[in-house]
Structure 1
């Protein structure tokens, strides 16, 4: 996607911080690179965006609005083999954000399921 290699997540907890950094830089391609090719994002609310290309299109549209994100308080990560559930306590009071990440063959982590908001 990008000619310049970006830092990859070496721990599942890295993904939330990297998401905020890339979103605040307006880097839609960098955001999409945080997801596996077959990932699912539960956004927009009530729908699902499936696959990295569709996720890239979603983030290009979102980045055009120039949103600002803040690093949120992480909750403890739960791991099972090459899977990890990460979550944060959202600053905007939506109730919770939850992601499932999968460790790749090279030891890095990518999101496979992302639920960015849960109504509280």
Structure 2
């Protein structure tokens, strides 16, 4: 049984992630991901599964990063799936995640795109 606070709203995951990263808690960050989750990181690669994601965060936390809370963009929800995102700080990219509602009503990340940049060749609408 997990001792970690659960995300009962999709937007809670980003807040909890920031708190856990700032505490250096890789296991706690991994608890925000489903067992079958996929994260598009390191750049150009993917990391699959909660255990691999925990190991990735351990490496990332070795440099003692500090994250700032970010105001989320509006969440899109369809049944038990939701899309969450945060805006870019410099206008050059964004972060997006797909989360899935669990049987207990909490939400976990299943797809995580920590950073993407819109190609310049694609017109913005």
Q: TM-score, normalised by structure 2?
A: 0.89
| 1:116 corresponds to 2:123 | no
Regions of 4+ moved over 6 Å: none
Deviation at 1:94, TM superposition (A): 4.6
1:114, CA displacement in angstroms?
0.3
Distance change (3 Å), C-alpha of 1:33 and 1:4:
closer
Question: 2:102 matched to which residue of 1?
Answer: 104
> In the alignment, is the contact (CA less than 8 A) between 1:72 and 1:91 conserved in 2?
no
Alpha-carbon distance between aligned partners in 2 of 1:28 and 1:34, rounded to the nearest angstrom: 10
Paired residue total: 118
Q: Deviations over 1:63-105 (max 9, x none)?
A: 1110111111210000010000000013355510000000000
TM-score, normalised on structure 1?
0.93
The aligned counterpart of 1:34 is: 32
Asked if structure 2 preserves the Cα contact closer than 8 Å seen for 1:12 and 1:109, the reply is: yes
Question: What are the ranges of 5 or more consecutive residues in structure 2 without an aligned counterpart?
Answer: 119-125
- Greater Rg over alpha carbons, structure: 2
Distance change (3 Å), C-alpha of 1:65 and 1:89? same
- How many Å separate the matches in 2 of 1:35 and 1:13? 14
